[in-house]
Amino acid sequence: MAPTKRTLIVLFLAAALLLLLVPVALADVPQAPMASTRGISISPTVGPPSSIIQVHAWGMGRFATVSVSIGRQGAAPIHTHTVGANEEGQTWTTVTVPHNAEPGSLWVVTARVGSDQVTSEPFRVEGTAPHHPSPCGPTYVVRRGDWLTQIARTCQVSVSALLQANPQITNPNLLFPGQVLTIPAVSVPPTHPSPCGPTYVVRRGDWMALIARTCQVSLSALLQANPQVTDPNRIFAGQVLNIPPVDAPPAPPPSEVTATMRFNVNLRPRPTTATTIIRTIPVGTTVRVLARGPDGWIYVRHFDREGWVAGWLTTIHGDVGALPFRPS
């Protein structure tokens, strides 16, 4: 029996509808995710021995621990230190070209996470290093409460240069009062802008000390560049901050940093809410801050106990960015 005209129209419409739906169905098929892009850049790429190199690495993984090293191209690294990546997997740090690097030699910076690594373009050594004495003199005697980053900043040298001058330091986090450190000569300070650029747009969860650390400037220099910020503990998402150059002179760290609870805040053994509660610190209580941690957590002492509290639930008095970093 021959199909009627109505039947043919229905079949034609059904076929047309099927052709329209096939691309949609194919579009809904999950695609294999693209591999995350890792990279590293350095600045400058040419300079004398003892040059301080600004390093920016990305694609390292959220809050990953990154090993950053410098070494002659084709040879093993001569110095390695670790830094933490931020939530976007980016990190900024500095390394120093050895003072005895030969003119014409090439040096590379490597960032490694686990077995994966990226290597920078070569840094070419040209000329001789201009030096002037460190304000600390040729040696520094470690005092109670000192840590390596603080000493490097006080003496106006990089951490890598300080470690290179003191090969007896096998654990940078372990110093002793009375220990004598050799202080290398100070190179000409870098004139490059902050890795954040001339301005920074505040994001949700940011605080001033965290921004200062990310942009490699001191908290006091950041506040001096932003007189509109009358309360360092009160900034807003979308607010635009001026970022000073990385060679802005840092202020000496305060003798003590404290935090006052703005709510009843839980004291925890690790910097995460996915852990037990040691005790609850009542609203209005002021405690001493001993160290800064990841994601805005601060390590504090409350009477006879020490632990972690959420820094964004407190009002902090003093430069928390000058305190040592404690990962957990």
Split the chain (328 residues) into runs of 10 and give each run's mean pLDDT. Answer: 60 60 39 57 85 84 87 86 80 79 91 92 81 74 80 79 86 83 69 70 86 83 79 83 65 66 93 92 91 87 92 82 76
Answer whether residue 226 is part of any domain: yes
- Both 231 and 284 in one domain: the answer is no
- Both 276 and 226 in one domain: the answer is no
The reported pLDDT for the residue numbered 240 is: 81
We report the CATH number of the domain holding residue 121 as 2.60.40.1930
Residue 228 burial (10 A CB sphere; 0-12, 13-18, 19+) = exposed
Phi-psi region of 156 (alpha: psi -120 to 50; beta: other; left: phi over 0): left
We report the CATH number of the domain holding residue 170 as 3.10.350.10
CA–CA dist 3, 239 (Å, integer): 71
Answer whether residue 6 is part of any domain: no
CA–CA dist 123, 266 (Å, integer): 48
Answer whether residue 280 is part of any domain: yes
What's the structural domain count of the chain? Answer: 4
The reported pLDDT for the residue numbered 158 is: 77
The reported pLDDT for the residue numbered 177 is: 86
CB proximity list for 261: less than 8 A, separation 6 or greater: 281, 282, 283, 284, 285, 286, 287, 309, 313, 314
Answer whether residue 118 is part of any domain: yes
CA–CA dist 328, 141 (Å, integer): 28
Answer whether residue 194 is part of any domain: no
- Both 216 and 180 in one domain: the answer is no
Can you name the residues that pair with 268 across neighbouring β-strands?
308
Residue 237: count of CB within 10 angstroms of its CB: 10
Nearest to 328, CA basis, from 289, 275, 270? 270
Residue ending a domain, choose from 179, 211, 242: 242
- Both 277 and 207 in one domain: the answer is no
CA–CA dist 225, 210 (Å, integer): 16
Residue ending a domain, choose from 211, 242, 273: 242
Answer whether residue 327 is part of any domain: no
H or E segment to which residue 209 belongs: helix 208-214
The reported pLDDT for the residue numbered 3 is: 55
- Both 66 and 118 in one domain: the answer is yes
CA–CA dist 34, 148 (Å, integer): 40
Residue 133, token pair as written in the block: 């004495």
- Both 226 and 210 in one domain: the answer is yes
> Domain residues for 228?
199-242
- Both 181 and 146 in one domain: the answer is yes
- Both 230 and 163 in one domain: the answer is no
Answer whether residue 1 is part of any domain: no
Answer whether residue 29 is part of any domain: no
The reported pLDDT for the residue numbered 302 is: 92
Nearest to 309, CA basis, from 270, 283, 255, 276? 270
We report the CATH number of the domain holding residue 270 as 2.30.30.40
CA–CA dist 65, 85 (Å, integer): 6
| pTM over cut 0.85 | no
